[in-house]
A = this chain, B = another copy of it.
Amino acid sequence: MKIKPNLNNSSLTRKIFGFDESLKKKKIDVIEERPVTLFLNDQEIVTMMTINDYPEYLALGYLLNQNMIGTRTKVESVEYHPDLSTIVVRTNKITDYEEKLKKKTITSGCAQGTVYGNLMENFKKLRFKNNGKIKKSWIYDLSKKINLTPSLYLKAGAIHGCVLCQRNNPIVYMEDVGRHNAIDKIAGYMKANKISSSNKIFYTTGRLTSEMVVKSVQMRIPIVISRSGFTAWGVELARKANLTLIGRAKGKKFFVLSGEKRVE
């Protein structure tokens, strides 16, 4: 694995005193969660809650997955300022997104609505070809390897994991308080390290909602596996994009609701 949960990073969890069911005093490990405010050039974008292990990847991946910067946008710098809890992504020129946003916010004030509209417009243009495949044995291998990897989840709970995989091998295993952050950090890692996506598989501990489907399609990863369940709109979008959606993957069980042709 290129990146795995970093249990040696003591800033990601905290020991906190509390009381168990006998009201006996006891210490437990609890996940950290911090606000970080993201800027694109001089434009404030959003305040994210994160464990903050990879703020640079998170910032990049967020902008990519929200379609605020394109895969071809030249990023000049990503500056993290821990003292200000701020991260600034600078591009070589003002992005489309900033122009759209400025126009829109004057009339409606709604950055999030604008982003959502643009995202869905872009989504409609993306459809996977029939590339990519997954063997049943890979599904079992991946689940097993990922579940047995020491993680913040096993240490402290209350955290989601997303894993970038190739064949039956987990490559990048990210965790965060929100699964959207974990997936965004992987997107940022992929852009920063120029990783190709079409031969990859995504494993997530979270549910296969429309948000996860849109992000996977945005990242051009054709296969997604989850130990958790589906939402109907997630399935609908996955079918439109010809994305393979494998849910409820536990032990020897799983269920495919889209793109079953890739399963061998």
Is A171 part of the binding interface, using a Cβ–Cβ cutoff of 8 Å? no
A12 to chain B, nearest CB (A): 10
Bound complex: CA A234 to CA B136 (Å) = 40
Decide: A18 near B260, CB < 8 A? Known: A44-B113, A209-B49: yes
A30 pairs with B109, CB closer than 8 A: no
A207 pairs with B158, CB closer than 8 A: yes
Q: Which residue of B lies closest to A178 (CB)?
A: B209
Bound complex: CA A191 to CA B137 (Å) = 52
A177 pairs with B105, CB closer than 8 A: no
B230 pairs with A31, CB closer than 8 A: yes
Is A124 part of the binding interface, using a Cβ–Cβ cutoff of 8 Å? no
Q: Which of B28, B108, B209, B257 contacts A177 (CB 8 A)?
A: B209
Is A91 part of the binding interface, using a Cβ–Cβ cutoff of 8 Å? no
B110 pairs with A230, CB closer than 8 A: no
Is A53 part of the binding interface, using a Cβ–Cβ cutoff of 8 Å? no
Q: Which of B18, B108, B210 contacts A255 (CB 8 A)?
A: B18
- Residues on the B chain within 8 Å of A18, using CB: 255-258, 260
Is A37 part of the binding interface, using a Cβ–Cβ cutoff of 8 Å? yes
- Residues on the B chain within 8 Å of A3, using CB: none
Q: Which of B33, B45, B109 contacts A232 (CB 8 A)?
A: B33
Is A141 part of the binding interface, using a Cβ–Cβ cutoff of 8 Å? no
Bound complex: CA A209 to CA B158 (Å) = 8
Bound complex: CA A113 to CA B85 (Å) = 13
- Residues on the B chain within 8 Å of A46, using CB: 110, 112-113
- Residues on the B chain within 8 Å of A16, using CB: 230, 232, 235, 257
Q: Which residue of B lies closest to A260 (CB)?
A: B19
Is A93 part of the binding interface, using a Cβ–Cβ cutoff of 8 Å? no
Decide: A158 near B230, CB < 8 A? Known: A101-B109, A112-B47: yes
**Contact residues of A between 12 and 62, Cβ < 8 Å to B:** 13-14, 16, 18-21, 23, 26, 28, 30-35, 37, 43-47, 49
24 contacts between A and B (CB under 8 A): A13-B232, A16-B232, A18-B256, A18-B257, A19-B256, A20-B254, A20-B255, A21-B254, A26-B255, A28-B257, A30-B230, A32-B233, A33-B231, A33-B233, A33-B234, A34-B233, A43-B109, A47-B113, A49-B210, A105-B111, A111-B111, A157-B228, A158-B208, A177-B231
Beyond A28-B257, A49-B233, 17 extra complex contacts between A and B, CB < 8 Å: A13-B232, A16-B232, A19-B256, A19-B263, A20-B255, A21-B254, A30-B229, A31-B230, A31-B232, A33-B233, A43-B110, A44-B110, A44-B113, A45-B110, A47-B113, A49-B211, A158-B228
